[in-house]
Chains A and B, each alone.
Chain A
Amino acid sequence: MIAGAEALLVAPFTDYGFMRRALVACAALAVGSGPLGVFLVLRRMSLMGDALSHAIMPGAAVGFVFAGLSLPAMSLGGFAAGLAVALLAGLTARLTRQREDASFAAFYLISLAAGVLIVSLRGGSVDLMHVLFGTILAVDGPSLVLVAAIATVSLAVLALLYRPLVMECFDPGFLRALGVPGGLYHIALMVLCVLNLVAGFQALGTLMAVGIMMLPAAASRFWARQVWSLICLSCALALAAGYGGLVLSFHASLPSGPAIILMAGGFYLLSFFLGREGGLVWRFFPSRRRAAGLITDGSLSS
C-alpha cells in the first residue's frame, strides 16, 4: 500500500532527474507567479495577464529566428516584447480614448499572429508547439537558475512594494493625495508580471504560462478574505497544481504543460463550486453569516 503510493507519488522524482528539475521549476514559478496573480485578480486585470503572456510571443520568436531554441535569446526577446506591449497599451490608453483593456487585447492579437508567423518562417510545427506550449521536461540547469532568480527577485520586490501596492488597489485617490506616485507601483507590477511570464514560458509555453499565474489566484478568491491569505493560498495551489500535473503527465504519458494547467483549472472549478467565499453551492444553502448582509448599526450617534 505504502510502496504503491511511493511508486505513484515519489518515485517519478527520485528516479528521473528531468522530473526533479521540472518540479523545482514548478515550485519557483508557483511562488513567483502566485502573488502576482492575486494582485492582478484584485485589480480586475486578470485578462491583462493573458494579453501580456501572448505579447511575449513575437519577441521569443525573433530570439528563435536568430539563435534557435536558445533560452537566453528567447527570454530576452520575450521580455523586451512583453514590456513594449505593456508600455504601448498604457500609453494608448492615456493618449487616446481607448480603454487600457481594449488596447491590450488589440496588441496581444497582433503579437500572437506576428509571433506564429515569425516562428514558422524558420522553424517547423514542432518548434511552434515548443514555443506555444513549452517543454517543462527539458528544463536544464541554466533555465532553472533563470526561473529561480526571477522568482527571488519578484518576491523581494513585492515585499518592498507590498503596502503601497495594496493601498493603490484599494483606494488610489487617497494614496495619490498623500503624494505617493501610485502609477510607478503599477508599472513595477507590470514589469514583474512580464518577468514571471518569461520565466514560465519555457516550461509551460507562451499560451500556458499565464495559467499558473491566474488560475490559483482566481481559485483562492473563493476561500480567503485577506490579501496575505490569498497570496499564501494562491502559491500553495500553484505548487500543488505543478506537482499534481507532473505526476499525472508522468503516469498517463500526457504533455506536462497542459496537465499542470488543467490541474490548476480543476482546483479553480472545485473552488468555484465549493468555496466558502461565494462558491456556487452555498447559494443554495445560505449560511447565517451570508444571509446577514451588510453590517449596520442603527444606534450610532457618537
Chain B
Amino acid sequence: MSAGISAAVGIRLDRLTLGYGGEVTLRELSGTFAPGSLTAVIGPNGAGKSTLLKAVAGLLKPRAGSIEPVSAGGQGAGRQWRRLIGYLPQQAEIDLDFPMSVLDTVLMGAWRRIGGFGGASDGLLQEAEAVLERFGLGALASRPLGALSPGLRQRAFFARLMLLDAPVLLLDEPFAALDAATSAALMDVIAGWHGEGRTIITVLHDLELARTRFADTLRLAPDAVTWGRTAGAPGPKPAVSAPLAGLCGLAGRVA
C-alpha cells in the first residue's frame, strides 16, 4: 500500500437526478466533492444518501445530469475514471452465509492488479498479511468472514479497501452497528486516508461524528439540501463550488 496517492481526484455533480423504478429519490443535485476532501453525507432515511453513493460508484445510472471527475490540476481523469473509486457497500448487502475466508475477502481488493485469472504473488500475499496484521486480523486470516463479529468484519472490509488503494473512497454507513472502540479505530483509518490526499465520501447516521471529524457536510433531505463546510469544523476552504458556493456553512437550496 502506498503512503499517498499520485493525484487527488474530486467528483463534480451537475443537476444529478437519481431514482429507482418510478420514484425519484434525489432531484437536481449540483456541487463538487473537492479533490482530497472529507465529506459526511447525512439526512433522513430515504433521502437518497446510499443512492448517491451507488450512482457515483457507477452502480446506478443517473436519470438526468452528470457525475464527472475533477482532478487537482483541473483536467478530467479520462474515461476510465471509475477505476479510481473504492466502494464499501452496507454490510446488509453482503451475503455472510457465503463461505469466504477473511484473507480471500481482503484479496478481493487486488482485483485491479490480478483480475479474474491472475494468481496472488508472494508479494501480494505479504502485503495482504501486513494489512490484516494492521487491522488486528492476522490470526483470523483463514476463518470464514461470516463467523466474525460485525466490528471485525468491517475491519476486514476496510483492509480490502486498503489493498485496493483507490484515490476516491465511498463508504456507506461504515460505523452502523459497530462498538465504540471499533468505530473510533476505523475513524482514525479514514482520517489517515484523508491525510494521504484521498477524496472520501461517507454516509453517516452519527451527526456528532459528522460534526467533529468531517470537514464538509452534505445534508440530503426531501425538502432541502445543504452542502458545505461543516459548521465549526477546522480546515481552510469550503468544498462547495458552482451554484452552491459561497457562504461559510450551508448554502444551496436545490429544487
Binding site for B on A (CB under 8 A): 42, 97, 160-161, 163-164, 166-167, 169-180, 224-227, 230, 294-298, 300-302
Contact = CB atoms under 8 A, between A and B. Distances in A.
Nearest to A162: B116
Interface of B: 21, 54, 57-59, 82-83, 85-89, 93-95, 98-101, 105, 108, 111-112, 116-117, 134-136, 140, 143-144, 147-149, 151-152, 155, 160, 170, 181-182, 184-185, 188-189
Given A169-B98, A173-B93, A301-B181, A178 B147 contact: no
Nearest to B143: A295
B94 A302 contact: no
Contact of A230 (B58, B99, B144, B152): B99
Contacts of B117: 160, 163
B134 A302 contact: yes
Contacts of B59: 173, 176-177
B89 A163 contact: no
A298 B136 CA distance: 11
A127 B59 CA distance: 49
Contact of B147 (A42, A166, A294): A294
Given A163-B117, A301-B184, A178 B111 contact: yes
Given A176-B59, A179-B82, A300-B181, 4 more contacts: A169-B95, A177-B170, A296-B152, A297-B136
Contact of A300 (B82, B85, B87, B136): B136
B147 A295 contact: yes
B185 A171 contact: no
Given A179-B82, A180-B111, A298-B181, A173 B148 contact: no
Contacts of B188: 302
A225 B95 contact: no
Contacts of A42: 95, 98-99
Contacts of B95: 42, 169-171
A176 B58 contact: yes
B73 to A, nearest CB: 24
A226 B101 contact: yes
Nearest to B111: A178
B94 A300 contact: no
B87 A302 contact: no
Contacts of A174: 87-89, 108, 160
Contacts of B181: 298, 300-301
Given A170-B95, A227-B99, A177 B85 contact: yes
Q: Give the 10 A-B residue pairs with the shortest CB-CB distance, closest first.
A: A177-B87, A173-B89, A296-B149, A177-B57, A170-B98, A294-B149, A163-B116, A164-B116, A171-B94, A302-B185
A177 B53 CA distance: 10
Contacts of B151: 296-297, 300
Contacts of A173: 54, 57, 59, 87, 89, 93-94
A194 B136 CA distance: 45
27 contacts: A42-B95, A42-B98, A42-B99, A160-B116, A163-B116, A163-B117, A167-B108, A171-B95, A175-B111, A177-B87, A177-B89, A178-B112, A179-B82, A179-B83, A180-B116, A226-B101, A227-B100, A294-B147, A295-B140, A296-B151, A296-B152, A297-B152, A300-B136, A301-B181, A301-B184, A302-B134, A302-B189
